[in-house]
């Protein structure tokens, strides 16, 4: 875990909203993305700083573009 900040929380919010809109559980999203459910949970809480590879995997699993889930995620 790392110290949260507005940027990571903004990214986490994007992931959670996209996941909710697809009616996926965190477990299902993790399975589709090939990642651990606790990692997805940490991302949505803004306490993870995912690499661009995992960002892209999560986007693909959500059926959206990588740039879509990075909207509003500004330094």
Work out which of 13, 22, 45, 57 binds its own copies, going by CB under 8 A. Answer: 57
Distance separating alpha carbons of residues 19 and 2, to the nearest angstrom: 23
d(CA 25, CA 51): 22
- Which of 11, 19, 29, 42 contacts its own copies by CB under 8 A? 11
d(CA 71, CA 73): 5
Considering beta carbons, is residue 38 or 67 the nearer one to its own copies?
A: 67
Structure tokens belonging to residue 24: 């996926």
Backbone angles phi, psi at 54, to 5 degrees: -70, -35
Q: Select 21 or 34, whichever has its Cβ closest to its own copies.
A: 34
By the rule CB under 8 A, 75 interacts with its own copies: yes
Q: Give the interface with its own copies as residue ranges (CB under 8 A).
A: 5, 7-8, 11, 49-53, 55-57, 59-60, 65-68, 70-75
């Amino acid at each position: 875990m790392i110290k949260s900040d507005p940027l990571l929380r903004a990214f986490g919010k994007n992931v959670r909203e996209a996941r909710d809109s697809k009616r996926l559980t965190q477990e299902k999203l993790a399975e589709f993305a090939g990642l651990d459910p606790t990692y997805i949970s940490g991302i949505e809480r803004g306490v993870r700083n995912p690499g661009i590879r995992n960002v892209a995997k999560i986007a693909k699993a959500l059926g959206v573009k990588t740039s879509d889930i990075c909207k509003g995620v500004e330094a």
